[in-house]
Amino acid sequence: MYPEQGPVWDWIRDNAEQILPKVGANYKGDGPGAMRKIPQEDIDELHRIFEVSGGLDWFNKIEDFSAQKAKEMGLDIGTGKDSEYFKEVYNTNNQEKHSKQ
């Protein structure tokens, strides 16, 4: 999905547990630090903020219209990265429809 990350990223990902603490990250850990695990109660507060402020409604709207568009395009809406519709939107460059030349 992100080929520009380069081979160094693959190495970092493969060796995360050993390399991230070396640079001071608290990878998936409790307490403060880079790349820590966010405590569940904070995630819950965030979720409630999204509910109260219209963020969740907006997400649902996006999902609904995406499903409609997927149907129009004859693509499976699916879920997550395996969604046919997502793969199409993510990968297809249709600039010939948008530029002057």
Q: Are 36 and 29 in contact (CB under 8 A)?
A: yes
The interface mask with another protein, positions 34-63, x = CB under 8 A, is xxx-xx--xx-xx-xxxxxxxx--xx--x-
68 binds another protein (CB under 8 A): no
From CA 49, how far away is CA 77, in angstroms rounded?
27
CB of 80 to another protein, least distance (A): 15
- Kindly determine how many residues on this chain lie close enough to bind another protein according to the rule CB under 8 A: 50
Structure tokens of 19? 């390399």
79 binds another protein (CB under 8 A): no
CA distances from 66 to 58, 60, 73, 81, 99 (A): 12, 10, 10, 14, 24
CB of 97 to another protein, least distance (A): 12
Per the document, the length of the chain is 101
Between residues 7 and 80, which has the closer beta carbon with respect to another protein? 7
